[in-house]
Amino acid sequence: MSSPQFEAVIGLEVHCQLATRTKIFCSCPASPPVGRSVSEVEPNSSICPVCAGHPGTLPVLNRRVVEFAVRAGVALGARIRLKSRMARKNYFYPDLPRGYQISQHEEPICEHGSLTLSDGTPVRIRRIHLEEDAGKSSHEFGLTLVNLNRAGVPLIEIVTEPDLRTPEQAGEYLRELHALVVALGITQGNLQEGNFRCDANISMRPVGRAELGTRVEIKNVNSFRFIEKALYFEISRQIAVLESGKPVRQETRLYDSGRDQTFPMRGKEEAEDYRYFPDPDLLPVCVESAEVEKIRGALPELPAQKRSRWESDLGLSPADARRIVLDPDLSALFEGAIVRTTDREVASAISHLLVGEVSRLREESEGKPGALTAGHLADLGSRISQGELSSTAAKKVLGLAWESGEAIDRLIERAGLRQESAEDALLPIVDAVLAANPAAAAELKAGKEKVSGFLIGQMMKRSGGRANPEVLRGLLQKRIQGN
């Protein structure tokens, strides 16, 4: 993709669904019951005259939504507007019950925030505003079916300035932002359920030029990887268009992950005129500055702070710390597992398990959570650091815990995996391996240190992975020198 002449200019808009109990303007449930997915809820069962837009109904703002937006704003260092306004965005679509969406336009609740990427790039947040979600249309059997369960679900829209230059930066920004809003407790952050949806604006310009090129919007992508891929595709597509001497068309495109390409969204060619005006049914949204300070004071530890604490206090590698902090499941397990320890070795053993084996198991089970708990990890970590369990054995036990959820102790017994460090027990294995590999033994004696790795490997194999390799090494040394 890299063309020496062009650089990409990318801005992102994230729609983040807030984890409030009720919708933004009525008392219908905002999300499915715990443990159920959106698709499992009967269509049009979580609606009332208000969110279905019946005549005569009026919106009443859910204060929790305001609190959550302020929390996001404060965490992103944004300026909080103490008096903001809800506005109507007018357009017709069957899944928009009132014929207008209640959002914020000229006076959003938060402005001028920022989030810094690992390469030091500050990404400026232009605004964060409150709005309601629309319903969902599906087109089946030649019909358009409208489900309004989602209509009125509270969202915040977080809009960046066009400060990003590469798909990787875009991906990193999204992962960081996602971890942040999840840590703030303002969203479930479930990507599959559409809790965190992204629109990307991308244009190309010759390197060194300040003015922006024609912008293409890629709408509604709900996976970080897909956003990166969609941006890669757009960059090469736009460069190809520009290099052929044609102008890029300003349009909205959708990303097809199956074919890994973007295509123009139909029916979006006309410029929309949303005819915004302040919603007369709602009073200005007022926040006391004391309330803002209270929210600021009660912020939980943010991912960036957490990461640097893990690096400095627990000795995690920056890569592992980042990987874990950006992954809500892994960081929940990690934090649970290190509650009772400050031991760097234990922490580092746990972090290795998370980044390695746990991630692998999760991928194998297609994201389904295993029975593994933070307690399991704490137990495994301390056993590894105390030499009770080899890392090979630990992986095996972890796999069993993932499956069954049983206590580590019991699993080790059952699998016969307790690490053997007793010299008495290991000596026969050392002797047997030396006897079986006389040539290698001779080489080692002659000073070829390299073969010791092979011999220890054989011994580990013979012990079924249970032997403590350090003890084996000592015994082998003794035998070679002693004879």
Partner 1 sequence: MITLSSIHESVVGGAASFESTLEKQLGTITSGARINAFISVTADRARESARRADLELAQSGGRIPASKPLLGIPVAIKDNLQWAGSRTTCASKMLQEYVSPFTATAVMRLEAAGAVIVGKTNLDEFAMGGSGEHSAFGPTLNPADESRVAGGSSSGSAAAVAAGMVPVALGSDTGGSIRLPASFCGIVGLKPGYGRVSRFGLVAFASSLDQVGPMGATVSDVEKVYRVIEGHDPLDSTSIAVRAPIEHKGPAGLRVGIPAEFFAEGLDPGVRASVERALARLKEQGAVLVPISLPNVHHSVACYYVIAVAEASSNLSRFDGVRFGSRTDAARSASSLEEFYCENRSLFGREVKRRILLGTFVLSSGYHDAYYGRACQVRELIRQDFSSAFSKVDLIASPVAPAPAFKIGEHSQSPLQMYLNDLYTIPANLAGLPALSVPVEPHSSGLPVGLQLMAASGGEDLLLAVGRTLEVTR
**Shortest separation between residue 273's beta carbon and partner 1, angstroms:** 5
Closer to partner 1 by Cβ: residue 52 or 292: 52
Contact flag: residue 45 with partner 1 (CB under 8 A): no
What is the C-alpha separation between 71 and 241, in angstroms, rounded? 42
Contact (CB, 8 A) for 257 and 220: no
Site for partner 1 in 134-153 (CB under 8 A): 144, 146, 148
Among 73, 194, 201, 178, smallest CA distance to 127 is for: 73
Closer to partner 1 by Cβ: residue 41 or 52: 52
Closer to partner 1 by Cβ: residue 145 or 407: 145
Contact flag: residue 21 with partner 1 (CB under 8 A): no
Neighbours of 59 (CB within 10 A): 19
Among 58, 113, 112, 55, smallest CA distance to 86 is for: 58
**Shortest separation between residue 237's beta carbon and partner 1, angstroms:** 29
Closer to partner 1 by Cβ: residue 271 or 446: 271
Angle (CA) 373-378-384 rounded to 5° is 125
175 to 14, 230, 296: CA distances (angstroms): 11, 16, 22
Among 275, 344, 414, 461, binds partner 1 (CB under 8 A): 275
What is the C-alpha separation between 422 and 425, in angstroms, rounded? 5
Contact flag: residue 258 with partner 1 (CB under 8 A): no
**Shortest separation between residue 82's beta carbon and partner 1, angstroms:** 18
Among 3, 57, 121, 359, binds partner 1 (CB under 8 A): 57
Give the pair of three-digit tokens for residue 103: 């959002």
Closer to partner 1 by Cβ: residue 94 or 264: 94
Contact flag: residue 105 with partner 1 (CB under 8 A): no
Contact flag: residue 269 with partner 1 (CB under 8 A): no
Give the pair of three-digit tokens for residue 340: 């009772």
Stretch of 57-65, 168-176, 308-316, 474-482 lying at the interface with partner 1 (CB under 8 A): 57-65
Stretch of 12-20, 274-282, 287-295, 344-352 lying at the interface with partner 1 (CB under 8 A): 274-282
What is the C-alpha separation between 151 and 226, in angstroms, rounded? 26
Among 54, 63, 410, 414, binds partner 1 (CB under 8 A): 54
Site for partner 1 in 278-307 (CB under 8 A): 279-283
Among 32, 53, 328, 336, binds partner 1 (CB under 8 A): 53
Contact flag: residue 396 with partner 1 (CB under 8 A): no
Among 21, 37, 39, 99, binds partner 1 (CB under 8 A): 99
Among 200, 264, 196, smallest CA distance to 227 is for: 200
Beta strands in 33-153 (DSSP E): 79-80, 83-84, 87-90, 100-103, 110-116, 122-132, 136-140, 143-147
Stretch of 95-103, 180-188, 318-326, 394-402 lying at the interface with partner 1 (CB under 8 A): 95-103
Site for partner 1 in 147-206 (CB under 8 A): 148
Sheet with 87-90, strands from edge to edge, namely: 100-103, 87-90, 277-278
Give the pair of three-digit tokens for residue 299: 């912020």
Contact flag: residue 88 with partner 1 (CB under 8 A): yes
Q: How many CA atoms lie within 13 A of 39 on its CB side?
A: 4
Closer to partner 1 by Cβ: residue 113 or 152: 152
Contact flag: residue 56 with partner 1 (CB under 8 A): yes
Among 1, 5, 39, 49, binds partner 1 (CB under 8 A): 49
Contact flag: residue 35 with partner 1 (CB under 8 A): no
Site for partner 1 in 420-479 (CB under 8 A): none
Contact flag: residue 405 with partner 1 (CB under 8 A): no
Contact flag: residue 241 with partner 1 (CB under 8 A): no
Burial track 285-323 (b if 16+ CB lie within 10 A, e otherwise): bebeeeebeebeeeeeebbbebbeebeeebebeeebbbb
What is the C-alpha separation between 28 and 375, in angstroms, rounded? 37
Beta strands in 85-238 (DSSP E): 87-90, 100-103, 110-116, 122-132, 136-140, 143-147, 154-160, 196-206, 216-221
Among 61, 221, 248, 380, binds partner 1 (CB under 8 A): 61
What is the C-alpha separation between 367 and 37, in angstroms, rounded? 15
Among 3, 13, 29, 52, binds partner 1 (CB under 8 A): 52
Closer to partner 1 by Cβ: residue 55 or 297: 55
Stretch of 84-92, 152-160, 176-184, 230-238 lying at the interface with partner 1 (CB under 8 A): 84-92
Contact (CB, 8 A) for 117 and 123: yes
Contact flag: residue 107 with partner 1 (CB under 8 A): no
Neighbours of 423 (CB within 10 A): 14
What is the C-alpha separation between 34 and 202, in angstroms, rounded? 37
**Shortest separation between residue 267's beta carbon and partner 1, angstroms:** 9
The H or E element containing residue 384 is: helix 374-385
Contact flag: residue 60 with partner 1 (CB under 8 A): yes
| Binding residues vs partner 1 (CB under 8 A) | 49, 52-61, 88, 90, 92, 94, 97-100, 144, 146, 148, 273, 275-277, 279-283
